[in-house]
Amino acid sequence: MGRKGGGKAGFMKAQMRQKEEVSPPEQDTGPEEAHPATSTPGTTQKEESTSTTSAKASAFLVDDGPEESVGERPSVSCGGETRGKMLQRHKREAKSLKEQVKRLGKKGREEAAALQQALDAAHQQDLEAMARAEEESMSQGMESLALGPGAAPPGGEALKPTKAQRKRQQRAAAEAEREARIAAELADADDSLRVQEEEAMSSTLGPLGLAIHEIAPDGHCLYRALEHQLDLQDGSGAASFQELRRLAAEHMRTHANDFSPYIAEDDVTGPVEDGEVFEAYCKEVESTAAWGGHLELQALSQALGKPIKVWAAAAAPQLLGDEHPGPALQICYLHHAYGLGEHYNSLVRVVKEESEGAASVSGDE
């Protein structure tokens, strides 16, 4: 998939992504603070240090919004917080933690690691609680439908539901129907966008004798797509996607003046040490599954000495490195291919055999 953000000069992002209005994040208190650890007789200095770090970690997990009482926070088990709101809160907490880690500096590396671990654990607990709540809600709904109002439970006598119970059942049924309708509409909308994009891409590539070669959506899709193109042109094993990542990062470092102006701190997903945003970005390019984009394509075109042509459904094809000789490495950019959005695939040439009505693929330009 393509890097979300991917530098300020991202060509596909500039041409394809529509501006979305973002509503202000809802205030949330974040996970509850843990009680400070107290020292007991026999406790070692190392254990006391660990306890202190854990207490600080819990304190950093509180969201930076206005303070609310514990009772005001929606209970996941009671359905007070939807999954969407929970994920929004997680994002705010992660951003807040990133700012806290930046203030700690080099001396606070161990504490920063503890903070991150505590936040990940708290988020995992939230997700598990949400999954249990959803499962329980579904189970209760199925049981209610199976028994019906006033039906007798196993081994018991038929009970007439009270007026309050009937109202609760009616509200629950109406809410379940509404949620199901919204989910279906969202699914249809997403599928519609994906289908429309695929049809537009096929209508563009088909007359040119080109077809899509699927690449796994694992965060390395841009590099894997170029790896496939290099295999088609130069033979199998020309360069692995890991080697392409290292090559892109090294080229960006040696040509920092060409790339660093287009990289902001928001483009780095991990902590930034001593304000070294550009170096942190390069490290993510070479050693993580961070998504690639326009900057990485530029770096690889220059480092490989090959032109790269990027096809898209809603924009004219973009050719990078047209000063280099030889056929271009051809990939395509899809904005709605998967749930996470942006994705890169490789392209192959389709050669039709009229006598048999079959088709074969070729990597030639």
Residues taking part in catalysis: 218, 221, 343
Q: Please enumerate in sequence order all residues whose Cβ is within 8 A of that of 347, keeping only pairs 6 or more positions apart, or say none.
A: 205, 210, 211, 212, 213, 229, 311, 330, 331, 332
Two structure tokens written together for 365: 């330009």
Q: Is 356 helix (H, G, I), strand (E, B) or coil?
A: coil
Compute the distance between CA of residue 332 and CA of residue 313 in angstroms, rounded to an integer. Answer: 9
Compute the distance between CA of residue 54 and CA of residue 186 in angstroms, rounded to an integer. Answer: 40
Write out the DSSP string of 233-264: HH-TTS--HHHHHHHHHHHHHHTHHHHGGG--
Measured CA to CA in angstroms, residue 241 lies from 221, 245, 285 at distances of 9, 6, 11
DSSP state of 44: -
Q: Please enumerate in sequence order all residues whose Cβ is within 8 A of that of 12, keeping only pairs 6 or more positions apart, or say none.
A: 2, 293, 294, 310, 312, 315, 318, 333, 335, 342
Strand partners, 320: 308
Q: Please enumerate in sequence order all residues whose Cβ is within 8 A of that of 288, keeping only pairs 6 or more positions apart, or say none.
A: 219, 269, 270
Nearest to 334 by CA among 38, 12, 78, 82: 12
